Amino acid sequence: MQKIINDFAKDTVLHSASISIAVIDVEHNKFIGQFDPNRSLIPASSQKVLSTAALLDKAGSDFKYKTNFYLQGMKSVGDSSFIGKIIVEGVADPSFCSYAQEGAMGAQELMLILRDKLLQMGIRKIKGNVVVNSNYIKDIPENPEWLWYDLGNYYGAGCFGLNVYENVTWVSIKEERKSGLICDIVKVVPNILYPYFCSEVVSSVTKSDEDIFVLGSSQDNNYTLHGSIQCCGSDTLTLKAAIPNPPLTFQRILTMKLKELGIEFLPIEKSNAASTKYLLYTYESVPLRQLADRALSKSVNLYCESFVHTFGDKVNQSTDRKEALQSLERYWIDKGLDKSMVLEDGSGLSPKNLLSSAQLAKALVSISKNPAIPNFWELLPESTIEGSLAGILALNKSIKGKLRLKSGSMERVRSYSGYVMEKDKPKYAISLIINHYDCSGSEIKNKIAKFFSKIAEQ
C-alpha cells in the first residue's frame, strides 16, 4: 500500500504539485498508508461529504423539507371570490419542483393540486396576489467566497429561502452564418426569464477551446453570456445558467399557471377586511437520504448549500451561513478531526476551503461507524461504472464494486474521497487531494485512475 502511494506521489508529472493522501483501515481506525496527510489543500467537491453526512446525522434520513402554501384573507360572501393573497413559505428546499430529483413533485402537478384545493373551497377568483416569503435565509444567496466567474452559471446558483427548478434555467443561442457576429438568444426556459439574459457570444470560423459562460448574480438586473462558438450553420447551442431570482420566478409562474387553470386574479388595494390565515397545502420533499444521494452522486452544489443552512437551523435555530459553517466545523472537530479545517461553504465551490486528506479520511471512518447514517457508502458513486474515472477503472474487472468515491475538481485541483469496499462494507477510508499540478486534465485523470485501481486490488 505505502509503495503504491509513494510511487504515485513521486511521479515526475506531479513534481510541482501539492499532494495529500490518507488511507485508514476502517475496522481498526489505523493509518495504513499516507503521504503528507495533514497538508491543508483545496478539496473541491469532496467537501460535500462533510455537509451531507452532518445533516443526515442531525436531521435524520427521513427528514423532509416542507414548503407551506397559505391563504390569508377572507372568503367573499355570496360569490366565489377570496379577498387576500396566497402566501408561499419557503424553507430552502433544494429540490422544490425539481426536474431531476427522483420522486420530486413537478411544478405542473403542484399547480393542479393548488387549483383543486381552491375549487374545493369554492374559490375561483382571488382579489389579491401571490406572495413568496423567502426570509428563511437572509444571507446573500451566492456565497461571498465564490469566484465571480462562477456565479451566473448553473453550478454557482445561490441558495434562497425558496428555490425552484434547482435554480437552473436553460438558455439557447443560435449560430450565426458569418464570423464576428453576436449569436442571439432564441429561447430561455422558463420563458418568463428571457428578458434577464443577453448574449455577447461571438461567432468564429475557428473552433474555440473557450467555454461559454454566464456572468451575473442575484444582485444584478441582467446575466450576460460570454465566449465564442464556431460558425457557420443554423444549429442552436443550449447551456444551463442560474435563475436570477427564484422566489420572484416562482411567484410569477404560480400566478400565470393558476390563471391558465381557471383561477382569476384581480389586483386590489390593501384590504381592511378581517383576515384569517388558512393552510392550503404542504409541499413535501422526498426524504433527506434521497436528496443526499443526488447531492453526492450528481455533485449538485445547491443541495449542499441548502444542507448547511438547514444544519444551522437544526443546531443553532438560525440559518445564518457564517454561524452554520462554524457549527459544521465544530461538529467535525468533535468527531476527532484536526481543527485546522477551513469551511467557507457546503459544496466545495470556494477556492478558500481547506482540508487535508487525513481530515476527510477520518470523517469517513466516523461516518461509517455512525448508526444514524447507515450505509453512507451507498450514496457515493460506484467509481468503476460512473464518474470521471469509470472509463479507465472499468478495464480492471477485478475491482468492480470495490471503489465508492466522491470526486472534486476545479482549475488545477483534483480530489477523491470515499471507501475501498470489501464484501459490501467499507474496508479502507481513503482521500486523495492534488493541487497545482501542471499536466493536462486527461493525464492527471489517467494517473489517478491507475492509482485507485492498484489501491483497490490490495
pLDDT digits (tens, 9 = 90+) for 331-355: 999 999 999 999 999 999 999 999 9
User: Which residue range is the domain that position 215 belongs to?
Assistant: 148-242
The verdict on residue 183 lying in a domain is yes
Q: What is the DSSP letter of 287?
A: P
Task: Tell me: do 324 and 264 sit in the same domain.
Answer: no
Residues 410, 435: Cα–Cα separation, whole Å: 9
The verdict on residue 143 lying in a domain is no
Query: How does pLDDT run across 55-88, given as a tens digit for each residue?
Result: 999 999 999 999 999 999 998 877 899 999 999 9
Task: Tell me: do 349 and 450 sit in the same domain.
Answer: yes
pTM, whole model, 2 decimals?
Answer: 0.95
The verdict on residue 8 lying in a domain is yes
**Cβ-based neighbours of 395, under 8 Å, separated by 6 or more:** none
Selected residue with higher pLDDT from 211 and 150: 150
| pLDDT value for 279 | 97
The verdict on residue 325 lying in a domain is yes
Query: How does pLDDT run across 173-186, given as a tens digit for each residue?
Result: 998 888 889 999 99
| pLDDT value for 208 | 62
Task: Tell me: do 91 and 180 sit in the same domain.
Answer: no
| pLDDT value for 177 | 82
Task: Tell me: do 121 and 82 sit in the same domain.
Answer: yes
Asked if pLDDT for residue 213 goes beyond 70, the answer is yes
Task: Tell me: do 195 and 254 sit in the same domain.
Answer: no
**Cβ-based neighbours of 445, under 8 Å, separated by 6 or more:** 388, 389, 392, 414
The verdict on residue 100 lying in a domain is yes
CATH number at residue 132: 3.50.80.20
Q: Per DSSP, what are the bridge partners of residue 414? A: 409, 434
Residues 104, 99: Cα–Cα separation, whole Å: 8
**Cβ-based neighbours of 74, under 8 Å, separated by 6 or more:** 82, 83, 84, 273, 274, 275, 276
Query: How does pLDDT run across 4-56, given as a tens digit for each residue?
Result: 999 999 999 999 999 999 999 999 999 999 999 999 999 999 999 999 999 99
The verdict on residue 116 lying in a domain is yes
Task: Tell me: do 30 and 132 sit in the same domain.
Answer: no
Relative to beta strand 125-133, strand 81-89 is parallel
**CA nearest to 68, candidates 347, 265, 259, 279:** 279
Task: Tell me: do 278 and 335 sit in the same domain.
Answer: no
- Taking each helix axis from N to C end, the angle separating 48-59 and 288-297, rounded to the nearest 10 degrees, works out to 180
Residue 81: all three cell numbers together: 371570490
The stretch 238-262 carries a mean pLDDT of: 97
Task: Tell me: do 26 and 125 sit in the same domain.
Answer: no
**CA nearest to 137, candidates 286, 330, 327, 311:** 311
Last residue of a domain, which of 209, 226, 242? 242
| pLDDT value for 274 | 63
Asked if pLDDT for residue 264 goes beyond 80, the answer is yes
The residue type found at 192 is: I
Asked if pLDDT for residue 209 goes beyond 60, the answer is no
Gyration radius of the chain over CA positions? 25
Q: How many domains, in total, are found in the chain?
A: 3
| Percent with pLDDT over 90 in the chain | 88
The verdict on residue 36 lying in a domain is yes
Task: Tell me: do 339 and 395 sit in the same domain.
Answer: yes
How far apart are the two ends of the chain, measured CA to CA in Å?
Answer: 7
CATH number at residue 404: 3.40.710.10
The stretch 391-410 carries a mean pLDDT of: 96
Asked if pLDDT for residue 210 goes beyond 70, the answer is no
Task: Tell me: do 400 and 304 sit in the same domain.
Answer: yes
Query: How does pLDDT run across 351-375, given as a tens digit for each residue?
Result: 999 999 999 999 999 999 999 999 9
The verdict on residue 28 lying in a domain is yes
Q: Taking all residues of the chain, what is their mean pLDDT, rounded to a whole number?
A: 95
Q: Which of 1-10, 211-220, 270-279 has the lowest mean pLDDT?
A: 270-279
| pLDDT value for 35 | 98
Relative to beta strand 236-242, strand 30-35 is unpaired
Burial class for 118, CB neighbours closer than 10 Å (0-12, 13-18, 19+): buried
The stretch 418-433 carries a mean pLDDT of: 97
Residues 163, 226: Cα–Cα separation, whole Å: 25
Residues 205, 180: Cα–Cα separation, whole Å: 8
Task: Tell me: do 118 and 58 sit in the same domain.
Answer: no
Task: Tell me: do 133 and 198 sit in the same domain.
Answer: no
**CA nearest to 128, candidates 162, 88, 87:** 87
| pLDDT value for 175 | 86
Last residue of a domain, which of 255, 283, 311? 283
